[in-house]
Structure 1
Amino acid sequence: MARKLFGTDGIRGKANVFPMTADMALRLGAAAGRYFRRDRSTAHRVVIGKDTRLSGYMFENALTAGLTSTGMNVLLLSPVPTPAVGFLTQSMRADLGIMISASHNPHEDNGIKFFGPDGFKLSDEAEAEIEALLDTGVEPAQATNIGRAKHIYDGRFRYNERVKSTFPREMRLDGMKVVVDCANGAAYRTAPEVLWELGADVIPVGVSPDGTNINKDCGSTHPRLAAETIVAHGADVGICLDGDADRVMILDETGAVADGDQLMALLAARWAAEGVLKGGALVATVMSNLGLERHLEDNNLRLERTPVGDRYVVEAMRKGGYNLGGEQSGHIVMTDYATTGDGLIAGLQFLAEMVRSGKPASALVQQFEPCPQLLQNVRFDLGQTPLESAKVQSAIKDAEDRLNGHGRLLIRKSGTEPLIRVMAECEDEDVLRDVVSSVVSAVEAAV
């Protein structure tokens, strides 16, 4: 059964424009409520979290109306990170978890992500079944069986304790000056609280959300603010989260940025040395750098690649019995600790390695020499199919022929934005620029 609304990470789009409208959220809530309440009992519950976008209030209310109309009891968490929803869905014995967030996107966008009762994101099949219920209509509950809604005010603190429990008990962060950029998003209170409670001297930025400044010139996609703050305050390290705190970038004491590939390489080596890396492998997407794959091979470890999207990383990890995976963009998945990417837990793992090794961040962030990689995006209008163009297909074939044996080319539609992503890797940077430019030009002409 094909999905139409769901992308690689739930449903996402511009607020008040189809499909991200209040009406669709209400209908989606009713469909999800009916899907998870098929036995018609009255004990079902759902937890709903959100980030700090202004439109989150609208979608929270609409989803609540739809869910309660089918008899689901709704527990409202207010702003919490996405991984907190996964954790609390399982911890609170809920049947369903929902996160209202568009992650690293600008405030005008929003999204809806679903978690099953085990705290993991729903499968493609489950999402397709929920979509089917949208088409067929949902029978509401009888008046006496309408669900209730209530606020859960300690959800953030429950999650804080879970995050701290992943940090070695014998360690503290006393004397370590840490810049944490919360992107004016969901972790604006959680991250500084956790770091302070573990003993760090915390310098928070991006902790003044106003509904419209989430991810704006801050956070993991815009680390310049954190880098400047590190240098200005003489900090030891920086942790940059995105709007819903499921991804992270690490900055060293000079402000240099390490992406998810470098962090995964560090954790894989550490866990392998400790004998806790399951399966002798790291799971990452097709976007991860070729240098990471070579680095792992040099250390007798494997890289298992998946399609783009942390949900596909998690699916491969669960299927293969692996416990470490993630994306170059900073989603780091550690299934021993969390059911989805968790930027704060990943950041704490890096800080633990600083304490354990006694090394500065700059000595840990560069685990391997990356292969030259170039990524360019081309925006297109909904309804357009530029990748089906004969000229685009011809340009792609020519680029692949030039890279044959010397690199790789990856062309894909984004699952979260109307973008065609053109990425290539090649040791020869002149060839790299040429092949990417030729494909991008062809795609631009097609749109």
Structure 2
Amino acid sequence: MFENLTGRLSDVIKTLKGEARLTESNIQKALREVRLALLEADVALPVVKDLIARVKEKAIGHEVMSSLTPGQAFVGVVHQELISIMGGEKEDLNLSTTPPAVILMAGLQGAGKTTSSGKLAKWLIEQKKKKVLLVSCDIYRPAAIHQLELLATQTGADFFPVQNGQKPGEIGAAALDYARKHHHDVLIVDTAGRLGIDEAMMNEISELETLLNPIETLFVVDAMQGQDAVNTAKAFSEALPLTGVVLTKLDGDARGGAALSVKHVTGKPIKFTGIAEKLTGLETFHPDRMASRILGMGDVLGLIEEAQRSTDEHEAKKLMQKVKSGKGFDLNDFKAQFQQMKKMGGMSAMLDKLPAQLSQAAQNVNVDDKVINRTEAIINSMTQQERVKPEILKASRKRRIAAGAGVSVQEVNRLLSQFDQAKKMMKMMNKGGMSKMMRGLKGMFPRMR
């Protein structure tokens, strides 16, 4: 995400090379480029004006420390102002109330309310150890009710069934009563969406809000709508006492305008961002980390946290021992690393959180979920002996494996070559060579056609 904006801002930094300090004349061009970059990213005009004014005020006369270049100093100012525009501090979900804490999910049809409700339930169960009840008040779309029921099953949350003929208010009241009697910590209420903002929709959700008195009313909005997403969020914030925003499909938003604009325009903090379709694709929003990603600094902390959440500690220790010893790393371990990558959202999600320099060095990796799935299929077609001792794989065995996985023999050969590269990478990592590792990664996965 933010590829265009990150690239433009990187070019801005280069224009300030060789300057001793930041002055009005030498940052004028830089500010103009930042303004254009933000407008191209579909950032709301009032936000752009405010950000540029604040950057200009703080940057002019900014002394450049001996350890910094003018470009780095300028980026420091922009970084702080981006954080401020997006809310400053991380805003946590508020659950400080007598259980059940009611969370009302609002938004237009297609924004991802139902999926986000399921993701939030999973997040609450796994991260906060809460007992969660899900209910759908979308009586207009039976498929949405069924989808939420499936999500409840997948996440381990409870689901409150809806009876034919019930109105949204009746469903909400019954679900709240059930949640109290069965000692649920949180009740998540998925509401009906419309294709556009209309009076009937607003009246219905306002009645639900009054009836349920939720501690959190979250507006779910599609980041890919850009400026339209911000305008819709503003309309909802004027009609409902919103407490926060869930910005969905952020991984598909190459511009980033919604992420930068929504807090400034609505006054409501972004509390979560949705990425990928998987139920694990919900992240707490950190303005400082998002600002770092926009400026090409990456989000290494987020990457580490994600790895910790999805890593089996016992298996990780076993692999580390193999890496240290330089022995025993086999195709089972190779497959496990791909599975780990999928748990973390795939290669693209990982690269997105790396600093720009490392991410660009790994761009030739170009591995998507299809490539990962194909790799797993090839390894699954091998016998246990072949996985442990790939050196025994000769022509006849390769033909059998290729047929079993539905690929060509060339694909099998490519996998074995990648495995050899991976073993070399393990040795590099053991010696602490990050640059060597990145070169190994590039060799391991040549650009796919």
Coarse TM-score class (shorter-chain normalised)? under 0.3
Task: Tell me the TM-score normalised to structure 2 length.
Answer: 0.27
Which has the larger share of helix? Answer: 2
Task: Tell me the TM-score normalised to structure 1 length.
Answer: 0.27
Which has the larger share of strand? Answer: 1
